[in-house]
Copies of this chain bind each other. A is one copy, B any other.
Amino acid sequence: MPILDLSPGDQTVTVSGDTPLLEVYAALPAGLFPPFPPVELPGGVGGLVARGGFAQTFFFGAEVLGVTFRAPSGRVIRAGGRTVKNVQGYDLTRPFVGSFGRLGEALDVTLRLRPGPHARHVAAPGSLEALGPLSARFAWQDGEDVHLLHFGHAREVERALAVLLGAREVKEPLDLTARFPGGIGVGEGALRDRRFGWVNGGAAPPVPPLFARLAASL
C-alpha cells in the first residue's frame, strides 16, 4: 500500500517513497491538496522530496513534516514526525529535502496537506521570468507555455491566475515521465520552474563540502 496513512483532520498524508505523485492526488479527498501539482515525474514522492519539489512558489521544505530514509551507510533514519505539533527538535528532515540523493533514499514521507475549495490549472504561451511575482501556488514553464495552478477560495484562484492572459484550462493531470527515461535532474531544458531547469538524467546541483561531511556522518 503506497498510501500508508491519510489524516484529513491533521491535514497530513504519509506515503511510501516510491508512490507516484498522481496516486497521492487520487487518494486525497476533494478539497485537500499536496505540495505539488498533478504532474507525474520520475521517482515518485521520494524523488520529488529529494529534489526539493517541483514548480512550487512557496517554501517546500515546510510542507515535509517527516521522512524515514536509508542513509548511504545503510542506516535507517526517522526524521520529523507525522503531525505538525510533535516535532521536538534534533530534526533531520530539512537537510533531506533537496538533498538530491546525497543523504540516501526516502522510504516514507509525511506531507502536509492544504485545504482549498476551488482549484484551477491553466496554461498559455509566455515567459515565467516575465510574469514577475506570482501568487499562484505552482508555476512552471514547458517549452513555449507557462503553467499556473492554484487552489483556494474562488476569488483568490481567479486573482492568482488572471496574470496569465488568454490562458486555456488544463483539465487533466499531466504525465511527463516519458520525457525523462534516465530520471530527472537539473540542467537547461524545456521544463523549468523558478528554482531549476529539469532535464533527462540525474544531474544534481554541486554539493557543498559541508553537506558531504554531513552525509558521511549519517
User: Which residues of B lie under 8 Å from residue A213 when comparing CB positions?
Assistant: 217-218
User: Which residues of B lie under 8 Å from residue A196 when comparing CB positions?
Assistant: 88
User: Which residues of B lie under 8 Å from residue A218 when comparing CB positions?
Assistant: 210, 213-214
A71's nearest neighbour on chain B, judged by CB, is B210
Tell me the complex Cα distance, A168–B194, Å: 48
Q: Most chain-B CB neighbours within 10 Å: which of A60, A62, A102?
A: A62
Tell me the complex Cα distance, A213–B99, Å: 18
Is A58 in contact with B84, judged by CB distance below 8 angstroms? yes
Do A61 and B94 contact each other (CB < 8 Å), given the known contacts A52-B88, A217-B214, A218-B213? yes
A58's nearest neighbour on chain B, judged by CB, is B84
User: Which residues of B lie under 8 Å from residue A85 when comparing CB positions?
Assistant: 57-59, 194
A216 interface hit (Cβ, 8 Å): yes
Interface residues on A, range: 35 or more
A77 interface hit (Cβ, 8 Å): yes
A195 interface hit (Cβ, 8 Å): yes
Tell me the complex Cα distance, A102–B92, Å: 13
Do A210 and B92 contact each other (CB < 8 Å), given the known contacts A61-B87, A85-B59? yes
Tell me the complex Cα distance, A216–B218, Å: 11
Is B98 in contact with A95, judged by CB distance below 8 angstroms? no
Interface string of A188-218 (1 = CB under 8 A from B): 0000001110000000010110110110111
Tell me the complex Cα distance, A115–B213, Å: 39
Is A98 in contact with B92, judged by CB distance below 8 angstroms? no
Is A91 in contact with B87, judged by CB distance below 8 angstroms? no
Shortest Cβ gap from A71 to chain B (Å): 9
- A sample of 15 cross-chain residue pairs with beta-carbon separation below 8 angstroms, ordered by A number, consists of A61-B87, A61-B94, A62-B62, A77-B210, A88-B98, A88-B196, A89-B97, A89-B99, A90-B98, A90-B207, A90-B208, A92-B94, A93-B94, A94-B94, A213-B217
Chain A: residues with CB nearer than 8 A to chain B?
Answer: 51-52, 57-62, 65, 75, 77, 84-85, 87-95, 97-100, 102, 194-196, 205, 207-208, 210-211, 213-214, 216-218
